[in-house]
Amino acid sequence: MAVPAIAWAILELVSAAITAYEIYDLSRALYDGVGEFSKNVEAAKAEIRKNMEALMEEIAAKVDHETERAALWAATEADGKIQQEVTRQASGRGARSPLIQTAIQQKIPFRQVISMVCDQADRMPVVSVRRRPGAELKDLGAARKKVLLEILAAGATELGYIEDIDQFIVVRQKQLMASLIFEFMDDLVEWASPLKAEASFGPGPGYADPPLEGTRLLRRGPSINPFYPLPHRGRGSLAADLAIPDYRKTPLRKDNVFALVEIKFERDKIENRQFEGYKELSDRCAKVKTEAIGKARTYGGKGVTLGCRVSLFRYPEDKAKARDEDGKPARAGSQRKPGRKHNR
């Protein structure tokens, strides 16, 4: 099956974003001097935009809703061919309940992109601070202390399910880096990326839509960690690590969600209750979509039965297999380079 053009465009975009992060060494800026962060991000954006005008035009191209949805379906179907065996079998870490097993096996578009971002987050986490047993915050340098406190700005309600605060620091820094890269990509294409980081929905059963500024998700945190505090903080609210809209040129709301992806790094806790919440949100999306289009216009007149796909992406177990442009297993050393034109 041919891979849709938008999928290759997003692969090139993430390659460029990762390269920019490496060149400007944003993690070192965060670690040693918080004040350098915004300046380096803006420099990285300017460099990418200067060198990748054609790619930006391709991603920003006017594609109608139905054409883009068809591309998402094609990319989703192709995902089955690049899943690792541990993913297909839903085995290993966290696979204890049928709900989580289904989420592990769920086909999603852009698995390669998610894998690349998580690889980078694993190599270059936001900060390298680890609180030793018995150590106190006063033992940290001023800049490191500021970074640490801002990362932990989620507050006690967000930390309640973490048993080991030392583990939390390590895990959150990787997730934060992944979210920053996805947000960076979205910003580069003027908030028209099909990958939206930290999409926050209000408490159930209604699950209020994420606050938005056009197609940009509203953030309330500082630039170093814009995702916390969350816009919705009530008990039962959900913040998906990654949301994929049906159509990226319209705001991410319950009637415009194709998939929700929860990313778990190696030491993250995987809990069934979180995926029960995502299942309820998916059901709510189905009702909203049915109300919007009417039952008569759905297949068999039964209404929308699947509001959105719910996926669990465990890193590194669920990384995509390496593949070349023709969809075949990639030979050792082969890799698609950023900026290379693909065949149409």
Confidence of residue 85 (pLDDT cuts 50, 70, 90): very high
Backbone angles phi, psi at 212, to 5 degrees: -135, 155
Element at 260 (helix H, strand E): strand 259-264
Contacts of 89 (CB under 8 A, 6+ apart): none
Element at 310 (helix H, strand E): strand 309-314
Of 28-32, 97-101, 191-195, give the range with the top mean pLDDT: 97-101
Residue 7 is predicted with a pLDDT of 75
**Alpha-carbon span 56 to 233, nearest angstrom:** 35
Distance of CA 61 to the CA centre of its chain: 22
Residue 158 is predicted with a pLDDT of 43
Q: What is the pTM of this model?
A: 0.82
CB 166 within 8 A of CB 131: yes
More confident residue, 340 or 89: 89
> What mean pLDDT do residues 13-40 have?
76
Q: Work out the mean pLDDT of the chain and round it to a whole number.
A: 80
Q: Which of 298, 276, 338 is nearest to 100 (CA)?
A: 276
- Structure-block tokens of residue 133: 């047993």
Is pLDDT of 338 > 50?
Answer: no
Domain spans, the chain: 5-314
Residue 163 is predicted with a pLDDT of 42
Of 42-56, 235-249, 256-270, 324-338, give the lowest mean pLDDT range.
324-338
Confidence of residue 108 (pLDDT cuts 50, 70, 90): very high
CB 25 within 8 A of CB 67: no
Determine the longest span between alpha carbons in the chain, in angstroms.
65
Residue 327 is predicted with a pLDDT of 45
Is pLDDT of 168 > 60?
Answer: no
Q: Could you read off the pLDDT of 236-284 as tens digits, one per residue?
A: 899 999 999 999 999 999 999 999 999 999 988 999 999 999 999 999 9
> What mean pLDDT do residues 90-108 have?
97
Q: How many CA atoms lie within 13 A of 327 on its CB side?
A: 12
CB 26 within 8 A of CB 40: yes
**Alpha-carbon span 21 to 79, nearest angstrom:** 27
Fill in the DSSP letter of residue 198.
Answer: E
Q: Could you read off the pLDDT of 283-321 as tens digits, one per residue?
A: 999 999 999 888 766 666 778 989 999 999 999 999 999
Count the helix, strand and coil residues of the chain and give each as a percent rounded to the nearest 5.
50, 10, 40
Is pLDDT of 161 > 60?
Answer: no
Residue 138 is predicted with a pLDDT of 66
Q: Are strands 259-264 and 238-244 parallel, antiparallel or unpaired?
A: antiparallel
Alpha helices in the chain (DSSP H): 5-24, 26-32, 37-51, 53-60, 65-79, 85-88, 98-105, 111-123, 142-151, 156-159, 165-188, 272-293
Q: Which of 230, 203, 201, 227 is nearest to 308 (CA)?
A: 201
Element at 244 (helix H, strand E): strand 238-244
Which SS3 state, helix, strand or coil, does residue 67 take? Answer: helix
Confidence of residue 150 (pLDDT cuts 50, 70, 90): low
Residue 233 is predicted with a pLDDT of 77
- Look-up of token digits 């149409």: 344
- Structure-block tokens of residue 124: 């270059």
Is pLDDT of 128 > 50?
Answer: no
**In the beta sheet, which residues pair with residue 153?**
none
Q: Which of 185, 11, 20, 13 is nearest to 82 (CA)?
A: 11
Fill in the DSSP letter of residue 270.
Answer: -
Is pLDDT of 101 > 70?
Answer: yes
Is pLDDT of 329 > 60?
Answer: no
